[in-house]
Chain A
Amino acid sequence: MLKIILFTLFISTSVNAQSLKHKIYGYAQMDWNTSSDSDTKEGFQLKRVNLINDILLTNNSRFLADVEFEEGTDHTPSSNKGTVKVSRAFYEHSLSQHWKFQAGKVLTPYGLLNETHDFSIIYLPVNVPLPYRSQKITASRNARLYSKYTTGLSFNYKTSNHNRFWDAQLSIGNGSQESDEGTDVNNDKSVAVKQQFKWYGDSITTNWGTSHFTEGDSTRYGGIGGQRMWSHNTFLGLESDNFQFNLELFYSKFNTGLTAKQESASGYSVLGYNLSDSTIPYLYYAQSKIDLREKEWNSSFGIGLAHNISPAVVIKGEWIRTDQHQNFEEKAIDDWNTTLAISF
């Protein structure tokens, strides 16, 4: 299927090269990690190379395909190792300066970091913050608080007043939840709503927003029907020429069985101070209470340094200590993460 899509994509772009505007841009990331946790993959890893094919069909419509080359890790299912896949592929039509809709596979409008395929070149942490990772939902299954991708329809509204921008997104479709057990394919329906306000002030850019995600899935949490997840998020991003600050808070509720319910709360913050235009040391803190009724929670604290070799190339290193408190057992994990990220 992938081969057909790629073949069609390349044929269509070459045939219509004269009439269509085709741009290719993207992102590459290579990591080196080491950890005190024996379950964590260590060493070098070509995490991903993404080629975004952006084809302007008319003045108001375009087709975008994000082709991802991924090395995979020892912990991904064997079917996902060393994959080439279409991460996103959608048709977009702009109805006016304010309205547009997309049809296809898009990033779910949820949270601050999920607006890009990988945040590492823009935001400070190397690895995805704790609340964005899979959480334990039942004894046997993990799941994220949201689906990274949605296949369906997405409606976007954007308006502005001088240097203040507000946009809202609604997406309806099938979620594509990636859990530790791999990608679930038999998801039911998902709905995500996100609104965000951006204010480009004279010295500080403020980005505040909320997002909500719900998904019903008859297979997700062990094959029992009628299960549903609600997840709410709010975020605040502040950025100036001198500092960067991000804060995100999450609250989620899971129906994990006919009567069982689980609530979780989590959040993280990152604060970086620009020593120069290109060197930013930062502090990171995250906490996740997996089940509000239980005494199970994880927290992470870390320090890191990001250095832009050029605006398009960033190299980062960080130390993160994660304390896991589960079932009256405590465990501390030290992770050293470095990354080289390039946009082109």
Chain B
Amino acid sequence: MKKVLLILFLIVGYCEVSQAQSIIVNAQNSTITIPSKFVKDIFIGNMTRWKNNSLIEVVDYNANTELRTEFTAKYIEMSVMRVYKNWIRLSLSAEVAPPKIFHTQQEVIDFVSKNANAIGYIKDRQLISKDSSVKEVKILEK
């Protein structure tokens, strides 16, 4: 019975780790929580400034990565293609520069750690603990 409970516990624990994405910002950023609706606004380019009026630097992944597809489906509720086109429209209309695109989570962490106004997301929380210049921001669900 103990073995069964242990296995169940491990499975549930694994699912939680593998499914949740974490929003990360630079450690200098005073933001602690962020409503999920703002997550959408930031990552489609409609919200471009932090509360102190400094420009938000969005970091994202290649369009064909699983992490981006999962994040887009969960928080943006639009296809990656639509999100991408929205960014193209905003950047070509000179509203805001397009997001930095990276391949790996470590690249995202590195960029956010060096840029005070940057925001990104990762899947593997354990990568954050290795770098104190990046912190996780709690997402307030709807």
Does A165 contact B46, Cβ atoms closer than 8 Å? Answer: yes
Shortest Cβ gap from B93 to chain A (Å): 4
Do A200 and B81 have beta carbons less than 8 Å apart? no
Size of chain A's interface in residues, with CB distance under 8 A? 40
A-side contacts of B94, CB under 8 Å: 52, 54, 64, 66, 88, 90, 106-107
Residue contact A97 to B53, C-beta cutoff 8 Å = yes
Q: Smallest distance from the beta carbon of A280 to chain B beta carbons, Å?
A: 10
From the candidates B46, B52, B82, name the one contacting A239 in the complex (CB within 8 A): B82
Interface residues of A in 160-187 (CB under 8 A from B): 160, 162-163, 165
**Interface pair A25/B91, CB less than 8 Å apart:** yes
Instruction: Kindly state whether residue A17 has any CB partner on chain B within 8 Å.
Output: no
Q: Of B53, B64, B80, which is in contact with the most chain A CB atoms at under 10 Å from its CB? A: B53
In the complex, what's the smallest C-beta–C-beta distance from B89 to chain A, in angstroms? 5
- Specify the chain A residue showing the minimal Cβ separation from B37: A162
Bound together, the chains give a CA A239 to CA B89 distance in angstroms of: 14
- Which residues of A are found within 8 Å of B44, using beta-carbon distances? 200
User: Considering the chains assembled together, what is the distance between the CA atoms of A90 and B93 in angstroms?
Assistant: 13
A25 and B93 contact, Cβ closer than 8 Å, known pairs A60-B53, A122-B85, A311-B80 = no
From DSSP, what is the main secondary structure of chain A's interface residues?
Answer: strand
Q: Looking at B49, B84, B85, B89, which has the most chain A CB atoms within 10 Å of its CB? A: B85
Once bound together, how far apart are the Cα atoms of A154 and B97, in whole Å?
A: 19
Q: Is A329 an interface residue (CB 8 A)?
A: no
Give Cα A56–Cα B49 distance, bound, in whole angstroms: 13
Is A39 in contact with chain B by the CB < 8 A criterion? no
Closest chain A residue to B95 by CB distance?
A115
Find the B residue at minimum CB distance from A167. B95
Q: Contact check: which of A52, A96, A121, A198 meets B53 at CB < 8 Å?
A: A96
Interface string of B42-78 (1 = CB under 8 A from A): 0010110100111100000001100000000000011
Min CB–CB distance A86 → chain B (angstroms): 13
A122 engages B46 (CB within 8 Å): no
**A189 contacts across to B, CB distance below 8 A:** none
B124 at the interface (CB under 8 A from A): no
Kindly state whether residue B98 has any CB partner on chain A within 8 Å: yes
Given contacts A59-B53, A311-B84, contact A200 B40 (CB under 8 A): yes
A270 to chain B minimum Cβ distance, whole angstroms, is 15
Residue B126 at the A interface, CB < 8 A?
no
Spell out A's residues near B (CB within 8 Å).
23, 25, 27, 52, 54, 56, 59-60, 64, 66, 88, 90, 94, 96-97, 106-107, 115-118, 121-122, 160, 162-163, 165, 198, 200, 202, 205, 239, 241, 277-278, 308, 310-312, 343
- Please list 21 pairs of residues, one from A and one from B, whose beta carbons are closer than 8 Å in the complex, sorted by A's number: A25-B97, A60-B53, A64-B94, A106-B94, A116-B89, A116-B93, A121-B85, A121-B88, A121-B92, A122-B88, A122-B89, A160-B41, A163-B41, A239-B82, A241-B78, A241-B79, A311-B80, A311-B85, A312-B84, A312-B88, A343-B88
